């Protein structure tokens, strides 16, 4: 084990996979000498000459070239600076990358990773702060992961690169400086395997990305009042680990879903539907969702704080079930 930040763990995951497999390369705006918008790829351009490529400012070309390279046998890791900008390259993603393997009867593979970053809390305003994982989850053929810890960030990056399908790998701004123990060398976290970050028997809280840490803080406060919350970090929204969710709800009989994205059309609705369809008789109370409101992300620090799901809002939702 080695202590690393979330950003360092992603870089280490990239480094290990690039050392292991010469077909892996990085591309995106400023990923080279500048080290990426948030410094995640710093130094890799010197370690891997010719395999860390700075691109023009054109999301369409970044993802279009990655799709072609992946179909031709390479394993590109393409960075889009902010998840908000993926709208520019959605045709390449949802009409090409996601469908190519299916439409060619499995003869073509698209083993590419789209790295991007999401989330609020830094005053980056409405065009640089969204959480859009539900977009990608709605597209058959694309896998979508959102690591919440440094170890998961490294392990999921390795698994994403090795997968033969396109994977959208979403980092969170608030997590980049988070430190934790990370396994050295090759390390994989299987896609589609949720993790119980805290065990409990009174209520299940399903969440992912930054909200895992807000849920853990809420669980700590609830424990002082005698309520034992079980925190499930999905890690992957696609594939979705239904088994872990249903097993936990069978134990607690209560479910709260927490995500930073807006409520309407958010992936929490899919989690709720799975439990309603496959485990309705396990529930003693209605399902609760704690989400952002259906508005753009505010720039004002005061409004943004009110907009984001908080520890207090999670605690309130849990208490309403008792």
For 148, the 3-state DSSP assignment is: coil
Rounded distance, CA 78 to CA 256, Å? Answer: 34
φ, ψ at 206 (rounded to 5°): -100, 130
| Chain centre to alpha carbon of residue 248 | 21
* CB burial string 225-239: b at 16+ within 10 A, e below: eebebbbbbbbbbbe
- Residue (of 3, 1, 10) closest to 173 by Cα position: 10
Q: Encoding tokens for residue 170?
A: 């979403």
Q: Among the options 128, 172, 213, 259, which is catalytic?
A: 128
For residue 255, the 8-state DSSP code is E
Q: Please say if 128 is a catalytic residue.
A: yes
Residue with tokens 């400023």: 30
Half-sphere exposure of 107 (CA within 13 A, CB side): 3
β-bridge partners, 209: none
For 110, the 3-state DSSP assignment is: coil
From first CA to last CA, the distance across the chain in angstroms is 41
Residues designated catalytic? 128
């Amino acid at each position: 084990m080695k202590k690393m930040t979330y950003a360092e763990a992603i870089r280490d995951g990239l480094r290990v996979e690039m050392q292991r497999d010469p077909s892996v390369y990085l591309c995106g705006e400023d990923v080279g000498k500048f080290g990426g918008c948030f410094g995640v790829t710093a130094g890799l351009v010197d370690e891997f000459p010719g395999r860390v490529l700075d691109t023009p400012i054109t999301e369409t070309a970044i993802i279009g070239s990655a799709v072609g390279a992946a179909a031709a046998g390479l394993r590109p890791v393409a960075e889009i600076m902010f998840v908000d900008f993926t709208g520019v390259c959605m045709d390449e993603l949802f009409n090409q990358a996601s469908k190519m393997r299916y439409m060619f009867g499995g003869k073509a593979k698209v083993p590419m990773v789209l790295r991007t970053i999401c989330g609020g809390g830094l005053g980056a305003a409405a065009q640089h702060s969204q959480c859009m994982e539900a977009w990608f989850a709605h597209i058959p053929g694309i896998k979508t992961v959102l690591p919440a810890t440094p170890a998961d960030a490294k392990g999921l990056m390795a698994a994403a690169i090795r997968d033969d399908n396109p994977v959208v790998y979403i980092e969170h701004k608030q997590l980049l400086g988070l430190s934790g123990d990370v396994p050295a060398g090759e390390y994989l976290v299987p896609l589609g395997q949720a993790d119980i970050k805290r065990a409990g028997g009174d209520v299940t809280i399903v969440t992912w990305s930054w909200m895992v840490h807000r849920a853990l803080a809420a669980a700590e406060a609830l424990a002082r009042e005698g309520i034992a919350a079980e925190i499930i970090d999905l890690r992957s929204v696609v594939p979705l680990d239904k088994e872990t969710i249903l097993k936990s709800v069978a134990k607690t009989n209560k479910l709260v879903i927490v995500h930073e994205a807006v409520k309407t059309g958010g992936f929490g609705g899919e989690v709720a539907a799975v439990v309603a369809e496959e485990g309705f008789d396990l529930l003693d109370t209605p399902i609760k969702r704690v989400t952002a409101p259906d508005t753009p992300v505010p720039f004002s620090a005061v409004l943004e704080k009110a907009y984001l799901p908080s520890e207090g809002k999670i605690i309130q939702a849990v208490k309403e079930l008792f």
